[in-house]
Amino acid sequence: MTRLYLAGPMTGLPEFNYPAFHAEAARLRTLGYEVENPAENPLPADAPWHLCMRAAIRQMTTCDHVATLPGWDKSQGAQLEVYIADRLSIRDSPAHTITEYQVQ
């Protein structure tokens, strides 16, 4: 099964943008993907940024693909995740363009 990592903006957004992360994770799981959702990390939402990023990057490196949420390109954390994914040859694409499960 293909594992997807969700990357998107959180800092400074209402509810840390968790509703958007949870909605997209649910949609992708219904399509058959295994989804790593940083909004489901065990750290509290108000944990220091660097600790959240360390946890998120660990999650992301277990995945085959990064699915980006709207506004990811304006988020320092999501930009870092996509940059690291690119350097590790992990592809990325906008989450909304993923419409059916495809075996890689």
Phi, psi of 92 (to 5 degrees): -140, 155
In this prediction the pTM is: 0.93
Q: What is the C-alpha R_g of the chain?
A: 13
Can you give the length of the chain in residues?
104
Q: What is the pLDDT of residue 1?
A: 64
Residue 97 has pLDDT above 90, yes or no: yes
Residue 104 has pLDDT above 60, yes or no: no
Sequence spans of domains, the chain: 3-97
65, two tokens: 């693909």
Q: Among residues of the chain, what percentage have pLDDT more than 70?
A: 96
CA distance 26 to 77: 22
CA distance 13 to 26: 20
Q: Tell me, what amino acid is at 52?
A: C
Cβ-Cβ contacts under 8 Å for 90 (sequence gap 6 or more): 5, 60, 61, 63, 64, 65, 66
CATH class held by domain 3-97: alpha beta
Residue 17 has pLDDT above 70, yes or no: yes
Residue 103 has pLDDT above 60, yes or no: no
The pLDDT tens digits for 27-70 are 999 999 999 999 999 998 789 999 999 999 999 999 999 999 99
Residue 102 has pLDDT above 90, yes or no: no
